[in-house]
Structure 1
Amino acid sequence: MGTSTGTAADAGQGPGRRGQAARAVRALLQEHPAWVLLRSRNAAAAVVLLERHLGAARRRLPVEQLADRIDDDLPELRRAGFELPYSGWFYVSEWIDEGVLVRRRAAAQGDATETAELSDGALVALRFVARLRRPHPAVTPARLAAVLDGLHGLAADADPDPEARLASLLEQRAALDARIERARRGDADPLPPEAAAERARELLALAGDIPADLARVRTELERTDRELRRRLLESDGSRDAFLDDVYRGVDHLAESEAGRGLVAFRELLRQAEHTAQDDVGRVLDTVHLTPAEASALRRLLPTLQDAADELTDTMAMLRRALQRMVRSGELPAERALRRLLGEAQDAALAAAADVAPDTAMELSLRLGAVAPRSVGGLLPYNPGGEDAEAPAAAPTPPPRPVSLTALRAMARDSEIDVDELRGHVNDVVDRGQTATVASVLAAHPASQGAASVVGLLTLAEEHATTTGGTEDVSWRSSRGVVRRAVLTQHQFEERVP
């Protein structure tokens, strides 16, 4: 590193400020999801997998489905020389722990499916890599013109002198009148195709940062919600303005910085919705873009509208949850639970110096019959409305004896009896007869109706060969009605295992 010079004040204060800044950067290096992702051992493969499955218009997937898709891609990456020894579940769990992915429960009531989506830090990292892979020219007229126009407009709008603002507006009107006059004379030439395409790419580059901004808005809303809940739990229960505001329905989330930004974002989208859609259509008709760029521009407004709607729903859901917390009368119980948890943590910290982590505890808890795979799989009751009341529980009917025969009949009503069908096929094969679906049904009528036919077709696709012809099959439904169908003929040449 080179040498530097400075004043005595810099020598006394500079290193402290630089050290504090370096510690802040080190914290980002260790904790920020974007930096954690980019410096991980398998960063290259992780970026490709996350961009493939959660990038572009697809913003979230069920956790299990995401893990399965990554499992399908791992063999190809391993053949390419990447050391990826674990399964897709391992990498998904690791990304969730590191904050690269955000795990949420599906918003639909009654749906316990867990979904995963990119965090705001992961979006920043993917955007950074995309810019490195497809860099823009170092200096472009479109970018410089946008900067200069923005600077000029900012100087004019922020000038406290009304005469200066008026002069700026008159200057803009004169320039606009000149353009209108040239258009009337037919002298105004359209923007050259190369310049128009470059400006469109600049706009797409600017719009590419919006998804990460919206993800940060959601993170800020959830952080604000946690702060509001903490404030409610820490109150002593006496009358205070904050508690009264929440009870009356004051939307503190909408009044937060993230909430105000979201409201302004939605209002701007609403005002420009129709004109922006028309502008996108005109650009696609007149400007030459690559298929990927045209698709990104076409998806831009719908994607932003969907994200804004989802964020608005999230803010409303959090607000209703806060109001239910206050109006339901459960706040004292929540405070008591928080106090007990705090006491338990204090006791654990006090005992940590004397009790080893592997010390056996004389405590056992009876487990339930159902073991969820994760806490997120538990589905608490959510009435969906702040004033909704839980329905009255129906009386439990008295137990009644059920025979084994009845249980078997219930099982046959819900599942295809594959063992029975396998026995029917093997019986026809053992007789030396031509074993097709039709001949098996002729020898052994379908005891489960159409379900038996479906089961035989499944066995035929797995263990029989296609003859190239068709055959007529018939069976009786559960009501005794004769049904017929023409199916592709399969022949069983040996016993079905």
Structure 2
Amino acid sequence: MSTVSKALAIQRMVAHDATMRMLRADSIPIIASLLAAHLGRPGARMATDELFERMDADLELLRDHFDLPRTARAYCDDWRGAGFLQRRPASGARGETLELSSEAFQAIRVLDQLEEPASTVTQSRLLSLAQAIKSLAVDTDPDAERRLAALRAERDRIDAEIERVQHGEVSVLDERTALERATDILLQVRDLPADFAGVRARFETLNHDLRERILHADEDDRHVLDDVFRGVDLIESSDEGQTFSGFATLIRDPERSSALEGDLAAVLERSFAATMSTDDRRTMRSLVRDLKSNSRDVHLVLTEFARGLRRYVYSQDFQRDRALRDSLQQALAAAGPAARSVRPTADLGRELELSSLRLSTVGELVLHDPADYDTGDALADAAESQLDLEALRAIAREGEIDFAELIDNVNAELAVTSPVSVGDVLRRRPATQGLGSVVGLLSLASTYGHVDGREVEQLIWRGVDDIERRAVVSQHLFQEAIV
């Protein structure tokens, strides 16, 4: 690429790319901090009302240091228009959700790398690079003799390693090298949210391109329509769809995902893992869950686009859109010559009454029920009474799990011994909320502890009715205090 073409390409990217637009914004400290805090986690998506409420609370604190005259709703509308946020309908309920676009993920990732630059060259990275190059060279070599020689060399190396281990010569990575490799893994893991968002964006672009091809297809270019009528899933059969399907099949395979979870659990039990930060350990512990969640979200988008494309063709909606396109083109063609003789503001002597009614479906109509407006008997003023604070606290405890009490119980047990299981906590700290306390402890262990699927333990507790109950679950362990 020549210097001129390169400069023009970068100029176009600066003008139109949302990542560059976000990095060049004057308010980038506010944009990046708010979006990363609320939507920066893998697969994070939040209802608009909840997001606005949380951001408004943060804006109140930020106004002591920045000039922020607008509301969270106004800022989010601007950021959505700039391509930093994506709006989607909420599943299972009315309303909408907001999530980060792939470009916003990339911009936040760039800022994170500038704030905490990673080591440019490490032994782990060079070894991974050399191994990848060697594997590529062997796997693409058509010469059978060279392939056999490489396989024999690998077999000899494995046999020699087995013999050394059998004689008790076990070589273990030192903590510095192990930590380097874990850091390289985490750097790749942190790129996953942007990768998944990019996959969703490519599917949206592909869906739009296919609909446009269907709309503009003529008699000489009907293979897209023919493929849809034959039942071909054009989106899933595309290069992007096949690549994602291969990844989704891999991560949904129970044997492989279980093996990956076991390997991650083994890594976190090593001594060098204790030097990793809490966030890094939590990221590795939840890696498989995040991969499955993001894969499920992308697969739902893929399925929705494929069904919508087939519905668009089978319902003949594209024919209606073609007629509308032809009418608009005819109107534009007639407007060109007319514009040379008639001003846009000229009075044509005709009036066109526009409807002010909102077009909607019949399914939105709701029958009027007079009983809905019956407020019943008039309310009388209640006599003054003394409020019992303890009674109010008891009512509040019945409505939600007391996580503060559970965290105190876990931390108190960890101060005596570590690790402790949920069963250990329940034996020494009664479940004051019955099953609610048990569910709360299991939830805390899943988030802040470790779940060992290979071991089981029996939980024993007394419910609020003072009846003893038992349950057998996978072993849930707490290894460090919950802060």
Please, what TM-score do these two structures have when normalized by structure 1? Answer: 0.70
**Structure 2 residue 394 is the aligned partner of structure 1 residue 412:** no
State the alpha-carbon separation in 1 of the partners of residues 85 and 366 from structure 2.
Answer: 43
Aligned match for 2:122, one of 140, 156, 160:
140
> Does the 8 Å contact 2:41/2:193 carry over to 1?
no
Amino acid at match of 2:121: V
> Does the 8 Å contact 1:57/1:299 carry over to 2?
no
Runs of 5+ unmatched residues, structure 1:
1-13, 371-377, 382-392, 429-434, 438-465, 472-497
State the alpha-carbon separation in 2 of the partners of residues 52 and 183 from structure 1.
Answer: 47
Amino acid at match of 2:31: A
**Structure 2 residue 144 is the aligned partner of structure 1 residue 162:** yes
Q: Secondary structure at the match of 1:115?
A: strand
Aligned match for 2:154, one of 172, 179, 193:
172
Aligned match for 1:52, one of 18, 37, 52:
37
Amino acid at match of 1:277: E
Amino acid at match of 1:64: D
**Structure 2 residue 63 is the aligned partner of structure 1 residue 78:** yes
Question: Percent of counterpart pairs with the same letter?
Answer: 30
Residue of structure 2 in register with 1:256 after alignment: 238
- Deviation string 1:130-177 (CA, Å, 9 cap, x unpaired) is 112222223221111111111222222223322222222222222122
- Deviation string 1:190-222 (CA, Å, 9 cap, x unpaired) is 222222222111111112222212211111111
Residue of structure 2 in register with 1:279 after alignment: 263
- Cα deviation for residue 65 of structure 1 reads 2.2
Alignment of 1:346-385 (within 5 A): 363-368=352-357
Runs of 5+ unmatched residues, structure 2:
393-483
Residue of structure 2 in register with 1:188 after alignment: 170
Amino acid at match of 2:88: R
Alignment of 1:214-253 (within 5 A): 214-236=196-218, 240-253=222-235
Q: Secondary structure at the match of 1:117?
A: strand
Residue of structure 1 in register with 2:324 after alignment: 337
Residue of structure 2 in register with 1:294 after alignment: 281
Residue of structure 2 in register with 1:460 after alignment: none
Q: Secondary structure at the match of 2:46?
A: strand
Greater shift, 332-341 or 285-294, is seen at 332-341
Given the superposition, is the C-alpha separation of residues 352 and 38 from structure 1 closer, same or farther in structure 2, using an over 3 Å criterion? farther
State the alpha-carbon separation in 1 of the partners of residues 45 and 55 from structure 2.
Answer: 14
> Does the 8 Å contact 1:63/1:116 carry over to 2?
yes
State the alpha-carbon separation in 2 of the partners of residues 237 and 277 from structure 1.
Answer: 53
> Does the 8 Å contact 1:100/1:121 carry over to 2?
yes
State the alpha-carbon separation in 2 of the partners of residues 394 and 113 from structure 1.
Answer: 15
- Cα deviation for residue 46 of structure 1 reads 0.9
Residue of structure 1 in register with 2:87 after alignment: 103
Q: Secondary structure at the match of 2:269?
A: helix
State the alpha-carbon separation in 1 of the partners of residues 106 and 56 from structure 2.
Answer: 25
- Cα deviation for residue 233 of structure 1 reads 1.5
State the alpha-carbon separation in 2 of the partners of residues 200 and 138 from structure 1.
Answer: 15
Aligned match for 2:14, one of 3, 6, 29:
29
Q: Secondary structure at the match of 1:254?
A: coil
- Cα deviation for residue 295 of structure 1 reads 0.5
Amino acid at match of 1:324: R
Q: Secondary structure at the match of 1:116?
A: strand
Aligned match for 1:87, one of 55, 71, 75:
71
Bigger Rg, structure 1 or 2? 1
Given the superposition, is the C-alpha separation of residues 166 and 77 from structure 1 closer, same or farther in structure 2, using an over 3 Å criterion? same
Given the superposition, is the C-alpha separation of residues 30 and 302 from structure 1 closer, same or farther in structure 2, using an over 3 Å criterion? same
- Cα deviation for residue 344 of structure 1 reads 5.0
**Structure 2 residue 68 is the aligned partner of structure 1 residue 68:** no
Amino acid at match of 1:412: T
Given the superposition, is the C-alpha separation of residues 346 and 258 from structure 1 closer, same or farther in structure 2, using an over 3 Å criterion? farther
State the alpha-carbon separation in 1 of the partners of residues 339 and 98 from structure 2.
Answer: 35
How many residues end up aligned between the 2 structures? 385
State the alpha-carbon separation in 2 of the partners of residues 18 and 176 from structure 1.
Answer: 50
Given the superposition, is the C-alpha separation of residues 188 and 50 from structure 1 closer, same or farther in structure 2, using an over 3 Å criterion? same
Please, what TM-score do these two structures have when normalized by structure 2? Answer: 0.71
Given the superposition, is the C-alpha separation of residues 140 and 241 from structure 1 closer, same or farther in structure 2, using an over 3 Å criterion? closer
State the alpha-carbon separation in 2 of the partners of residues 118 and 60 from structure 1.
Answer: 8
Q: Secondary structure at the match of 2:120?
A: coil
- Cα deviation for residue 328 of structure 1 reads 2.3
Given the superposition, is the C-alpha separation of residues 394 and 163 from structure 1 closer, same or farther in structure 2, using an over 3 Å criterion? closer
Q: Secondary structure at the match of 2:88?
A: strand
Given the superposition, is the C-alpha separation of residues 411 and 22 from structure 1 closer, same or farther in structure 2, using an over 3 Å criterion? farther
- Cα deviation for residue 268 of structure 1 reads 2.5
Amino acid at match of 2:211: R
